[in-house]
Amino acid sequence: MVKNQKLPANILTPTTKAADHDVPITPDEIVKSGLMSKDDFDEARSKALSLFEYGQKVALENGVILVDTKYEFGKTADGTVVLIDEVHTPDSSRYWIANSYEERFKSGLEPENVDKEFLRLWFKNNCNPYEDKVLPEAPEELVSELAWRYIFLFETITNTKFEIPETQEPIHERISRNVAQALRNL
């Protein structure tokens, strides 16, 4: 395999929370440490892979490739395993432009991406975001670029024009709610 090559099958790479970042953990370690039972892990794994496959399908139908994402699961009081955070937003996912992927890959070029990696790298080069108590303000042009990418993804995937919501609800929560509704309809 080479960098940016599509995997033959989707995979799950579990992590758990550390003080300031996520730490890789194996399924066996999850069960042995008591974080989840084997049945609960298998259920979360199945849900995650199904949700990712669905997200990839919807994304590709709209001209982008859902490359990877992060899901967070929890349990309700009655023990039901549930998804507890945003779904397929640019904060938790990476997207590439589909119509240029093959040519760029064959030429050894990075895929055209629609994610926040450029901003993460700026912070990494200008501070230690995991240790510094106060982070520098990102340049306005980077913040504008990030906003443009988020709006581009919204409009591309939903096929609707982005409008500032009239409510105070953050847009990523609105999108997550809509995706959750779509999943219930599967």
Judged against a pLDDT cut of 50, whether residue 168 lies above it is answered with yes
More confident residue, 134 or 175: 134
pLDDT greater than 90 at residue 90: no
Q: Which domain holds residue 30?
A: 1-112
Kindly report, residue by residue over 3-53, the tens digit of the pLDDT.
999 999 999 999 988 776 789 999 999 999 999 999 999 999 999 999 999
Check whether residue 124 and residue 74 sit in a common domain: no
One domain for residues 49 and 6: yes
Residues whose CB is less than 8 angstroms from the CB of residue 127 and which lie 6 or more positions away in sequence, other chains included: 135, 136
Overall domain count for the chain: 2
Within this chain, do residues 101 and 122 fall inside the same structural domain, yes or no? no
4 burial (CB, 10 Å; 0-12 / 13-18 / 19+) is: middle
Most confidently modeled range among 59-68, 76-85, 125-134 = 59-68
Q: For 115-160, write each residue's pLDDT tens digit.
A: 888 888 898 899 888 788 888 888 989 888 988 999 999 999 999 9
What's 113's DSSP letter? B
* Statement to judge: residues 144 and 167 lie in one domain: yes
Spatial separation of the C-alpha atoms in residues 151 and 24, rounded to whole Å: 31
